[in-house]
Structure 1
């Protein structure tokens, strides 16, 4: 069974949906960091320590989200390149670029898992208070 245009196109649409979700997560966490930074100045020492810990975790999450977005964009690029190669019947190159797209897609999912673990860690800090 050879690679046909539908397979990279399916990955293309999946990545587009993930990019939307990743962008939404990035925006929400960025807003939380800004809100917590403002709140930091208006609290006692114990609450400041808590807020700083939350901000540190949110900052790590933002870094991971940027990385997973980069991996997802790379996957999207190589998926589109694979479709382009198929249109010009460059089957070997299409197969290689599709494999690269899949690798970037898996990297994106793995980084997303790590970011979710940091999200859980942030919630655990909440439960300790």
Structure 2
């Protein structure tokens, strides 16, 4: 088995940072959409707006879980580096492994959220097509 060095967990810093930036952008986009939907619903109490809000509630929750798992992954990468620095290689390997598992979990939440987003967009396209058929 190869020895875990400081560079191994450090390599994940840029990847996790980019992922967190993407997650934050998603979160900000959802916030803007929710504000618009809220205004729209207050003007016209439409059931379709309520369905969209319910959908967005789940997507926001998944985004929060993605962010928590991603940040935790980064935290365990930093902990791994510290454990290597203070010469606890066995604990460092376990901390790094946990960090990788958390990163995988974060990406699985992302896949789930993307599936919901795609399904939501398909519904919108269907609504547009139905409107043109009338």
Establish whether residue 41 from structure 1 lines up as the match of residue 39 from structure 2.
no
List runs of 5+ in structure 1 lacking aligned partners.
none
User: C-alpha deviations, 1:68-109, integer Å up to 9, x for none?
Assistant: 101011101000000111111211011010000000000000
The DSSP-based 3-state class of the residue aligned with 2:17 is helix
What TM-score results when the alignment is normalised by the length of structure 2?
A: 0.89
Per the TM alignment, residue 12 of structure 1 is displaced from its structure 2 partner at its CA by 2.1
Establish whether residue 117 from structure 1 lines up as the match of residue 115 from structure 2.
yes
Question: How far, CA to CA, are the matches of 1:79 and 1:96 in structure 2?
Answer: 11
Aligned position for 1:31: 32
Aligned position for 1:89: 87
Per the TM alignment, residue 13 of structure 1 is displaced from its structure 2 partner at its CA by 2.0
Q: Which runs of 4+ in 1 moved over 3 A?
A: none
List runs of 5+ in structure 2 lacking aligned partners.
128-134
Which of structures 1 and 2 has the bigger CA Rg? 2
Per the TM alignment, residue 122 of structure 1 is displaced from its structure 2 partner at its CA by 1.3
CA contact (8 A) 1:33 1:59 kept: no
User: Matches of residues 60-99 of structure 1 in structure 2 within 5 Å?
Assistant: 60-99=58-97
The DSSP-based 3-state class of the residue aligned with 1:113 is helix
Compute the RMSD of aligned alpha carbons: 1.1
Question: How far, CA to CA, are the matches of 2:69 and 2:84 in structure 1?
Answer: 22
Question: How far, CA to CA, are the matches of 1:93 and 1:41 in structure 2?
Answer: 54
Aligned length: 126
